[in-house]
Amino acid sequence: MKLLKFFFFWALLLILCVIVYSRSYPSAPEFSLEKENTLDNGNILFETGFIPQPDFILFAHSPTLTRLSNGDLLALWFAGSDEGKPDVKIWQSKCHDGVWEIAHPVVSPELISKETRRYVRKVGNPVVYRTDDGILHLFVVTAIGGWAASSLNELDSYDEGKTWQNARRLVLTPFFDLSTLCRTSPVALKDGGFYLPVYHESIRDYPEILRFDSAGNFVNQIRMTSHNDVLQPSIVPLNKQKAYAFFRNNGNDPKILYRQQTNNCGLEWGSLEATNLTNPNSSLVVKEILPGKFLMVHNPNDRCKIALSTSNDGINWQEIYTLDNMTGESFSYPAIYVHDDITDILYSWKKQKIKHVKLNLAWLKTKGFLNNEYNSK
Amino acid sequence: MNTIVNNLPLASVSLLSAWIVAGTLFHLPKIKHIASRKRFIFVLLILVIVRYVPIYDSMSIAYILCGILGDLSITSVLLVLTFLYSEIRENNNYYRINNGVWLIIFIIDLVLCLSAFGCIPIDIYSFGYFPKGLLIFYLIMQVLFWLLNRKFAMFWLLALVGYIFKVLPSPNLWDYLIDPVLWLISLVCLIIFGLQKLINNFFQ
Query: Most B CBs within 10 Å: which of A5, A20, A227, A267, as the mutation test of the B interface?
Result: A20
Before A26, cis peptide (omega within 30)? Answer: no
Q: What is the pLDDT of residue A340?
A: 83
Task: For residue A205, list chain B residues with Cβ-Cβ distance below 8 A.
Answer: 118
Mind listing the pLDDT tens digit of every residue in chain A (377 residues)? 778 888 889 999 999 999 999 987 888 899 998 665 555 667 899 999 999 999 999 999 999 999 999 999 999 999 999 887 889 999 999 999 999 999 999 999 999 998 998 888 899 999 999 999 999 999 999 988 777 778 999 999 999 999 999 999 999 999 888 889 999 999 999 999 999 999 998 888 999 999 999 989 999 999 999 888 899 999 999 999 999 999 999 988 788 999 999 999 999 999 999 999 999 999 999 999 988 999 999 999 999 999 999 999 999 999 999 999 999 999 999 999 998 889 999 999 999 999 999 999 999 989 988 775 544 33
Does B151 contact chain A (CB < 8 Å)? no
Q: Do B168 and B175 touch, CB atoms closer than 8 A?
A: yes
Q: Do A277 and A353 touch, CB atoms closer than 8 A?
A: no
Which of A148-173 are b and which e, b meaning 16 or more Cβ less than 10 Å from the residue's Cβ? ebbbbbbbbbeebbeebeebbbbbbb
Task: For residue B169, list chain A residues with Cβ-Cβ distance below 8 A.
Answer: 168-169, 171
Facing residue for A17 by CB, picked from B118, B135, B154: B135
- Supply the ipTM of this predicted assembly: 0.89
Q: What is the spatial distance between Cα B174 and Cα B168, in angstroms, rounded to a whole number? A: 11
- Residue A70 half-sphere exposure, CB side, CA atoms within 13 Å? 10
Q: What is the pLDDT of residue B67?
A: 85
Q: What is the pLDDT of residue B1?
A: 65
Chain A residue with Cα closest to B54: A119
Q: What is the spatial distance between Cα A136 and Cα A128, in angstroms, rounded to a whole number? A: 7
Q: Which of residues 107-126 of B touch A (CB under 8 A)?
A: 109, 112-113, 116-119, 121, 123, 125-126
Taking Cα atoms as reference points, which of A100, A146, A108, A142 lies closest to residue A125?
A142
Q: Do A228 and B118 touch (CB under 8 A)?
A: yes
In degrees to the nearest 10, what's the CA dihedral of A293, A281, A248, A226?
Answer: 150
The pTM for the full model equals 0.93
Intervals of chain B under pLDDT 50: none
DSSP assignment of A66-125: EE-TTS-EEEEEEEESSTT-TT-EEEEEEEETTEEPPPEEEE-HHHHHHHHTS---EEEE
Which residues make beta-bridge pairs with A360?
A342
Q: What is the pLDDT of residue A338?
A: 93
- Smallest CA–CA distance, residue A138 to chain B, in Å, is 18
Does A25 contact chain B (CB < 8 Å)? yes
Facing residue for B66 by CB, picked from A119, A205, A219: A119
